[in-house]
Amino acid sequence: MINLDQLAAVTDDFVKKNIRVLQIHRFADGEFDHLKRLERWAELPFGARVADLGCGIGEVARTFKQLRPDLSFCLVNISEAQLLYADPAMQQYACNFLNVPEPDGSFDAVLFCFSIGHEDQAEAMAEARRILRPGGILFIYDMIRKSGNNKIMEDVSYTVWPREHMESASIGFDLDYYMEPFDSGSYGEQILGDDYEKFFGGTSPAIWRFIKKG
Pairwise CA distance, residues 26 & 203, whole Å: 14
Q: Look over the chain and give the mean of its residue pLDDT values, rounded to a whole number.
A: 96
Q: How far is CA 113 from CA 48, 87, 193, 203, 207, in A?
A: 17, 17, 23, 16, 9
Q: What is the pLDDT of residue 142?
A: 98
CA nearest neighbour of 75 among 55, 57, 60, 89: 55
- 14 pLDDT more than 90: yes
C-alpha neighbours within 13 Å on the C-beta side of residue 44: 29
> Between helices 31-42 and 59-67, what is the axis angle to 10°?
70
Q: Whole-prediction pTM value?
A: 0.97
Give all domains of the chain, ordered by start, each with its CATH number: 4-198 (3.40.50.150)
pLDDT tens column, 63-96: 999 999 999 999 999 999 999 999 999 999 999 9
